[in-house]
């Protein structure tokens, strides 16, 4: 998460989160009641799709695990109590009320939280590096979770077809694959139009599952005793090992809680909190209690707990609605992966990728073709490997709990260093939260051999790629630095240049104090300098957005040379020509259509004894060769770009 690392050359920053801190960008805007209602409706469709579809499998898996070793009645009461109190402690208290206070310029998510924690005063360099590592690990775990959520959500919904008739069972997996592949195919169209339907559909979904749950509760009202934490505690006292193992399934009820925080910048705190407290939380409680009531009445329905609350005539309509809700949940996760990919690219943790904006008005509507392809292949393989949502549930949860642990640690640091909480409050509050998170994580760790290895494998692979890219960029920079000329020395010799030609030349660089390699190569081969030379450094700051007034910094170096620093936030798309066009108030008028942009094109060659080792050097070279060209990434005019090649040994 470097601050200067979207430039064509690698960044010199060693601390992944070290960055200059511009003033806050967003001031809270007063919202009318109509706007609050609109944002609340939109939040229902985007934020709560994942956690809203957890009833499809959470009670089923938890009851089946606990019911293998203890009386089914006690198991049902116990797991429903654990699910309810998990929603209260983890989602309502931790995320909705506590973590959402830790906003980074109005934005949330593990990356924004890590950046906020990193900004705390009095941290040692080792602590800052640990925060940077935690941020990278959180990103990697998010990618692992991003592949599993669409697969288990859609497959769980479609499996409802076989509940009434086993004749549909052979169609379940092919139909799920068709839906999932179709979902990835339409991503390039953009989700702005379809997204308008997400909110109303999810309102119907929450109303339906809440009403069905309430009907089941009316028939078996004593399930409401599970509201008491006594039943969850007794499960641990009577069968501690069984209760501990069941936590690995109970956590399925809170998957998606990270989305509440990550999407805070899109909708604001109030709509997300109001939607949870007024609609989502009550509907989930009713449905979970309803499923528990249905299983108390007929324990044999545990394998189809979600559909047990519906009358037979409503079964297939419920399957259809569940499938649509699962598609919406999958879309929200896919969009989240796109967003986190953009942030990682901007901060130099992943190679440059093509990022398309599919909406002219909503910056969150983006499409990343390469990541879409990776996700599609991964999701299809997961469905083919596990074949059922029951088997997939063994793999689901460990990535989510890993992110939960990291979030608790980071927000605890923010509470101590920035909120100035006293130890009297910090120790009990974060002690309890950390204990809950660690119990969930350790319980899910038991499932590693049964399938939990998959998200860990995905996260590990992504982590290696990001670390290799960061270390490789640093090694490449060291090589470039050793071969570069200080800018001050070059300016002293500029008067001896034989020819200055008319026009403006822009050279992109990662270091403002050194001469760009492209400039030296142009001078060496063409033996000319433009009458006006701009050395531009693109910097990604450690904030989501940069205000227009802080976008450009211009320094006149004399002799027709200018140094320009272009600032972007990690939620923004770098656009060098547009930024340069805004430099006029600083005494630099640039017309991109009459300007020549020079960029370096490095060919990497492995050294005899590479700094990164042979396999890591090979991986870095593959990543570099497949990275999007700086010309496209920075939106340079194609007919105004000159690329000058050079060879670098790393």
pLDDT at site 166: 79
pLDDT tens digit string along 409-445?
999 999 999 999 988 888 999 999 999 999 999 999 9
Asked whether 139 and 114 are in contact (CB, 8 A), the reply is no
Confidence check: pLDDT of 174 > 60: yes
Question: What is the band of 521 on the pLDDT scale with cuts at 50, 70, 90?
Answer: confident
Q: Cα dist. 420→94, 97, 108, 413 in Å?
A: 18, 17, 20, 10
Among 578, 539, 531, 585, CA closest to 559: 531
Q: What is the pLDDT of residues 263-285, one digit of tens each?
A: 787 778 888 999 999 999 999 99
pLDDT exceeds cutoff 90 at 115: no
Query: What integer is the mean pLDDT of 562-584?
Result: 88
Nearest CA among 96, 86, 145, 111 for reference residue 435: 86
- CA-wise closest residue to 254 among 119, 377, 83: 83
Residue 12 clears pLDDT 60, i.e. is over it: no
What is the pLDDT, as a whole number, of residue 442?
94
**Cα–Cα distance measured from residue 378 to residue 393, given in angstroms and rounded to the nearest whole number:** 16
Confidence class of residue 528 from pLDDT cuts 50, 70 and 90? Answer: confident
How distant, in Å, are the alpha carbons of 38, 406, 603 from that of 485? 56, 43, 20
Confidence of residue 363 (pLDDT cuts 50, 70, 90): low
User: Can you say whether residue 558 is alpha, beta or left, with left for phi > 0 and alpha for psi between -120 and 50 degrees?
Assistant: left
- CA distances (Å), origin 573, targets 427, 466, 597, 625, 635: 40, 20, 18, 22, 9
Segment 448-459 shows an average pLDDT of 88
Q: Residue 122 pLDDT > 80, yes or no?
A: yes
What is the C-alpha to C-alpha distance for residues 99 and 94, in angstroms, rounded to an integer?
Answer: 6
Q: Count the Cβ atoms, other than its own, within 10 Å of residue 133.
A: 15
To the nearest whole number, what is the mean pLDDT of the chain?
85
* Cα dist from 583 to 542, 555, 564, 614, whole Å: 22, 11, 9, 44
**In three state form, how does the secondary structure of 555-599 look?**
EEEECCEEEEEEEECCCCCCCHHHHHHCCHHHCCCCCHHHEEEEE
When pLDDT is averaged across residues 94-123 and rounded to a whole number, the result is: 86
Return the pLDDT at 229. 93
Q: What is the percentage of the chain residues whose pLDDT exceeds 90?
A: 37
Which residues are CB-contacts of 84 (< 8 A; sequence separation ≥ 6)?
A: 226, 227, 285, 288, 289
If one counts every other C-beta atom within 10 angstroms of the C-beta of residue 42, the result is 20
Instruction: Determine the pLDDT at residue 360.
Output: 55
Give bridge partners of residue 98 from the DSSP assignment. Answer: none
pLDDT at 1 over 60: no
Instruction: Give 166-169's long-range contacts (Cβ < 8 A, gap of 24+).
Output: none
pLDDT per residue as tens digits for the range 215-267: 999 999 999 999 999 999 998 998 899 889 999 999 999 988 888 888 787 77
Q: For residue 115, which of 92, 139, 132 has the smallest C-alpha distance?
A: 132
223, 77 contact by CB (below 8 A): yes
Pairwise CA distance, residues 72 & 70, whole Å: 6
Domains of the chain, first to last: 43-182+206-470 (1.20.1740), 485-649 (no CATH)
Q: Residue range 392-399: average pLDDT?
A: 84
DSSP sequence for 620-631 = HHHHHHTSPPHH
Q: Choose among 254, 270, 333, 276: nearest CA to 106.
A: 270
Q: What is the DSSP string of 70-103?
A: S-HHHHHHHHHHHHHHHIIIIIIIIIIIIGGG--
500 sits in which H/E element: strand 500-509
Mean local confidence (pLDDT), 184-207: 79
pLDDT band at residue 194 under the 50/70/90 scheme: low
CA–CA dist 329, 323 (Å, integer): 10
Separation of alpha carbons 117 and 17, rounded Å? 10
Render pLDDT for 156-167 as a digit per residue (tens, 0 to 9).
899 888 877 778
pLDDT of residue 336: 81
3-state secondary structure of 427: helix
């Amino acid at each position: 998460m470097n601050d200067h690392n979207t430039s064509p050359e690698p960044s010199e920053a060693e601390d992944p989160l070290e960055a200059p801190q511009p003033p806050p960008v967003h001031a809270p805007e007063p919202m009318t009641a109509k706007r609050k209602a609109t944002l609340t409706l939109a939040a229902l469709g985007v934020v709560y799709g994942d956690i809203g579809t957890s009833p499809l499998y959470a009670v089923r898996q938890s009851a089946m695990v606990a019911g293998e070793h203890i009386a089914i009645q006690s198991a049902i009461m116990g797991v429903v109590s654990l699910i309810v109190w998990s929603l209260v402690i983890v989602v309502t208290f931790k995320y909705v009320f506590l973590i959402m206070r830790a906003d980074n310029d109005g934005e949330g998510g593990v990356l924004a939280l890590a950046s906020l924690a990193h900004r705390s005063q009095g941290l040692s360099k080792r602590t800052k590096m640990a925060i940077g590592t935690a941020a990278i690990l959180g990103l990697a775990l998010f990618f692992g979770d991003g592949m599993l959520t669409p697969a288990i959500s859609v497959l769980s919904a479609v499996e409802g077809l076989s509940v009434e008739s086993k004749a549909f069972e052979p169609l379940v997996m092919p139909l799920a694959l068709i839906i999932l592949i179709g979902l990835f195919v339409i991503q390039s169209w953009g989700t702005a139009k379809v997204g308008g339907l997400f909110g109303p559909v999810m309102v119907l979904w929450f109303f339906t599952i809440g009403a069905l749950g309430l009907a089941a509760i009316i028939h078996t009202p004593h399930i409401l005793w599970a509201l008491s934490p006594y039943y969850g505690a007794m499960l641990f006292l009577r069968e501690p090992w069984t209760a501990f193992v069941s936590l690995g399934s109970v956590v399925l009820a809170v998957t998606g809680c990270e989305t509440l925080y990550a999407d805070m910048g899109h909708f604001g705190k109030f709509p997300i909190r109001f939607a949870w407290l007024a609609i989502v939380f009550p509907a989930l409680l009713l449905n979970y209690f309803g499923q528990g009531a249905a299983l108390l009445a007929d324990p044999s329905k545990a394998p189809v707990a979600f559909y047990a609350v519906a009358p037979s005539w409503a079964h297939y309509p419920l399957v259809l609605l569940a499938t649509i809700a699962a598609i919406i949940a999958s879309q929200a996760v896919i969009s989240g992966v796109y967003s986190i990919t953009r942030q990682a690219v901007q901060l130099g943790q992943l190679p440059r990728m093509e990022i398309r904006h599919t909406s002219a008005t909503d910056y969150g509507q983006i499409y990343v073709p390469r990541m879409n392809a990776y996700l599609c292949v991964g999701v299809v393989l997961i469905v083919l490997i596990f074949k059922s949502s029951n088997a997939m549930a063994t793999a689901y949860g460990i990535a989510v709990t890993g992110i939960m642990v990291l979030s608790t640690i980071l927000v605890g640091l923010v509470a101590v260093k920035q909120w100035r909480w006293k130890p009297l409050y910090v120790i009990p509050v974060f002690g309890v939260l950390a204990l809950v998170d660690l119990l969930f994580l350790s319980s899910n760790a038991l499932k590693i051999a049964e399938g939990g290895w998959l998200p860990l494998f995905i996260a590990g692979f992504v982590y290696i790629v990001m670390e290799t890219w960061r270390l490789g960029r640093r090694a490449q920079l060291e090589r470039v630095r050793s071969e570069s000329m200080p800018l001050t020395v070059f300016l002293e010799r500029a008067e001896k240049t034989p020819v200055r030609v008319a026009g403006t030349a822009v050279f992109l660089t990662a270091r403002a104090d050194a001469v760009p390699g492209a400039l030296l190569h142009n001078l060496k081969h063409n033996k000319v300098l433009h009458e006006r030379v701009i050395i531009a450094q693109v910097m990604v700051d450690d904030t989501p957005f940069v205000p227009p007034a802080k976008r450009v910094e211009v320094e006149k170096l004399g002799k027709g040379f200018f140094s320009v620093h272009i600032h972007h936030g990690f939620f923004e798309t770098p656009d060098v020509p547009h930024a340069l066009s805004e430099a006029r108030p600083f005494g630099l008028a640039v017309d991109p259509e009459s300007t020549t942009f020079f960029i370096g094109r490095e060919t990497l060659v492995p050294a005899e004894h590479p700094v990164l080792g042979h396999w890591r050097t090979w991986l870095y070279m593959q990543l570099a060769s497949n990275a999007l060209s700086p010309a496209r990434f920075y939106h340079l005019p194609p007919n105004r770009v000159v690329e000058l090649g050079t060879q670098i040994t790393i």
